[in-house]
A and B are shown apart, each in its own frame.
Chain A
Amino acid sequence: MFWLGLFAITWGLSQFSFAIYKALDARWIVRFPKKYELPLDSWISSAMTWLVEDAHFGLFTFRDLTRFIAAVIELPYQFVRSLLIDGFSVGQGQQAIEVAPSISWIAIIGTMAVIALYARNAGLAMLAALCFAYLAIFGQWESAMVTLASVLIAVPIGVTGGLLLGILSYRHPWVEKALRPILDLMQTVPVFAYLVPILFLFGFGPVSALVATVIYAMPPMVRIATVALQSVPEEVKEAGRMVGCKPHQQMWKVMVPTALPSLMVGVNQVIMLTLNMVIIASMIGAGGLGYDVLTSLRRLDIGGGIEAGLAIVVMAIALDRVSQAFAIRRVRPRPDPAQPIYQRHPLISTSVALIVISTLLGIYLPGFRLLPESLTITTGSIWTAMMEWINVTFFDFFEAIKTFFLTTLLLPVKRFFSGIPWAWGVIVVGLAAGRVGGWKFGLMSAAMTLFIAANGLWAKAMITVYLVSVSVLIASAIGIPLGIWAGQSNRANSVIGAMIDTLQTLPSFVYLIPVVMLFRVGDFSAMIAVVLYALAPAVRYAAHGIRSIDQELIEAGKVSGCTERQILLRIKLPLAAPSLLLGLNQTIMLALSMLVITALVGTRDLGQEVYIALTKANTGQGIIAGLSVAFIAIIADRIVAALARNSQEKLGVK
């Protein structure tokens, strides 16, 4: 009743807001009054300028601080880059003299294979070798190595930082309390929002890109590390204390090793998020594969974009599978210390030998250093031709699909959200949030909504909400049935699971390439890209929900004579409800984060606002728009989480 009433009023106001505004000549109904708009963006911008130009912390200035951070990141980055691709040289520019070569491409492929072999088995080694060989053969090697260098710097920083913060928040509950809202914000604030300030602080270049990447990739590691440490069994902790561990022994000899498998999941996350950032980071100077994709997208060079995009995917798959294998690696018996070193550590010895030999050979035979260009294959023109053919042949078909969705779904929803008067929007959000999460949360949500309106972003925010709602709706409509199917049949599970894994390994930008090629820019393309990106959690959580139902309950249903259909509808779905809601939550979060990226294909939402701020380097504008997206995310997150909790409590599962 409550919800129905709320919806009816909202719908009515949305339909007639324009008419009311005309009738009463009260423009404030549809637009937040200009003269009350907060000048927050200019305040923030001037604060940033002050920070960079004048701020002083006693001994050093803020600028010194940023320069120091830059140096700390830049040095190892340049080193790894020289090692992988550039070679070591002294002197500048034209006069540079190479003093040591980079590692041979053969050695890098071999080392990847050896690492994979160590992590799991020959099959994985084969996969890793093939993936990296692909990069060499298809002419993506140099860019790929630049990207790999930034991964090799960003991941250790992200993992170490995340682990240390995780340890702190495990040890001190107040740290966890203080960090939690920050982490929530970090995970919901779109990357674009902090690209602008970072660009402002560190300038265009790999350092900015690495800083942004680390900020983006670290929060999950903090969370996973905290949870991993917290879930070390109480008895193991007690065992450590009873044998008389000092605090540091307890942490590094008991807690961290016991939590290692879970921590490796975090490492995998950091790697995947780092790769996710590859393209975005190239907007502020990362170079490498991301830069290739970005320039291709801008030039609408289909072939080039697909080639570089695929290279990212291939690299992501290799790194993902190998790091996952580490997470579940079986410990092997220790080698017999009596053997000589190359027998005890055959893998390390092999790869060291490989690196030394092939790199030395590379000094005299350039083919060892880099695969000669004559041997590489380029597929760019094939992709371009293929896309053109598809476009020409199926133009009408794609156009029809697009029009159908636009007229039946996208436009009506857009009209509904855009029509809601801001004042009622603030009220309705407050009411809904208060209803599920208590009055404090209701007030907070209303305040957040008011913040958006008061900064003159109401219209754009509603476009964001509309795009997210439609995408989440479609993602759920596709994902939940798939998940249920996967939850019921092992066969379906393995196929769908593999599909979802691949989708999730793809860096978010990659979705945009084919979609834009087929449907051109606009809301519909944005929606498809978002749906593809946000599908995974809907499927995963649905499958998990169905799978984790107590088998006895299903048997009880069967014994009472339920048909398969009744079992699904009466037993499985209600019991899986909490899981479905959690999946919905994740879907919304992913949709919101992807949405900003789709600003590139011409949506007019908050994402576009951030993108404009980025191109104009307008820090204030970027931060405000970013915060607005974050607020929407926080409100949605809390509401759905509260619903999930309520339904869990109702079912008595926890």
Chain B
Amino acid sequence: MTQGTDAVELRGIGKSFPGVIANHDVDLTIRPGTVHALIGENGAGKSTLMKILYGVQRPDEGTIRINGEDVVLKSPTDAIEHGIGMVFQHFMLADNLTVLENLVLGAEKLHGIGDDARAEISRISDRFGFGLKPDELVEKLGVADRQRLEIAKVLYRGAKIIILDEPTAVLVPQEVDSLFANLRELRDAGNSILFISHKLDEVLAIADDITVMRRGTTVGSADPKTATKRQLAELMVGSELPSPETGESTVTDTVELTLSDVTLTDEFGRNLLSDISLSIRRGEVLGIAGVEGNGQSELVEMIMGMRIPSSGHITLGSEDVTHWHTRRLREAGIGYIPEDRQRHGLLLDAPLWENRMLGHQTEAPNAKGPWINRAGARKDTQRIMTEYDVRAPSIDTPSRALSGGNQQKLIVGREMSGDPSLLIASHPTRGVDVGAQAAIWDQIKKARRAGLAVLLVSADLDELIGLSDTIQVILRGRFVGTFEPSSVTPQDLGAAMTGGEAA
């Protein structure tokens, strides 16, 4: 095979940020018509490399060759002209526009905004089995549909090389399966797909080629036909594969959190949550399984005092906290890992040590009375960075400069600090690598033995089954089934989550 036929050839790519070398001497070759997986530990430089390929960032050195032609990508517009499209982990859709409007937005020149555009959308949707309805409002779509829409957007703009940054992190297994079906269709139609994932099963299931990055450079490749998860993990982080085994039960008799018949309505009087009852005892992990968008976010925000229930009661320890505000709840000892780390968990432009204070700015070691304890906060940030392996140049680095997984580790470390009595965790290991995932699971298990009560919302069913003492399935704002983790399979859970059957 001649070299010129490769879809993408990156040679000697280097990129530095203040205090960090994000990429150096990166070589990557993507064959046309393949699915290429890029794996590596948090902060290895995967997202940076993808952003370089999509023209969001300029490399300091190295060459990019697309379909045998040397190119300089100054902006995403250049990248799109060369047939490269990217779906970011955080979707960029306008909620109050329709599917059609979102698709043509900014690409009106291609097929206009009328019937031609509509025809093109139907063609793409039918060809790859996306099932898009052009006139549906985007705010009505679930995550999986949004993702398909993002991919359709990229195809609509004529992309032949499609980059997906952690596309499966927000999906439950059935959705992952159908995404993969879509990706195979795309591949068979001659497109090249480059995707990043921390989930090694998925990588082995879909990829034709695998490239591993470590500490800013490509360290090797693996053949998905012969490689095992263990081998991949060792290539990535040099550590053992984690398994979220709970071991013996640590559930006590003391109830920490109770919700009784709680209903939450939106401003139009529609029920977001209906008659939810649950109780979590000290030392217990209650898992919530569900397809994203079925009320998990609302449940969490309600417990955290960011939404006030329209009826029912919430009790923490022995106090009625139904109308308590977030700060009071946090001061009472609740740790909170929000689902959207960038919007709810971080001040992106503030240094890490100030991010350590966020959400705990009135508590030790960050404050003394009304005063900030700068020294205390800085010292504790250092501790969190060591204990949770947060990799960053210093505690004065702005949190924006951290890789996704390192941002997540900082938040988990912060919320586990100060011995919380209750942890409300939404996707606590979303976006972290296998090694860090194991470490976070260990920390949760350790705290649980010491009496921590946990509400765990996760799209990762292995994580739910491995950590939980009980699992509740949520569907359209209601609990529709209770499962024993010891006897349930991911398949059972999956069926209940999509309304297949309730136990």
A binds B: no
Report A's interface with B, CB cutoff 8 A. Answer: none
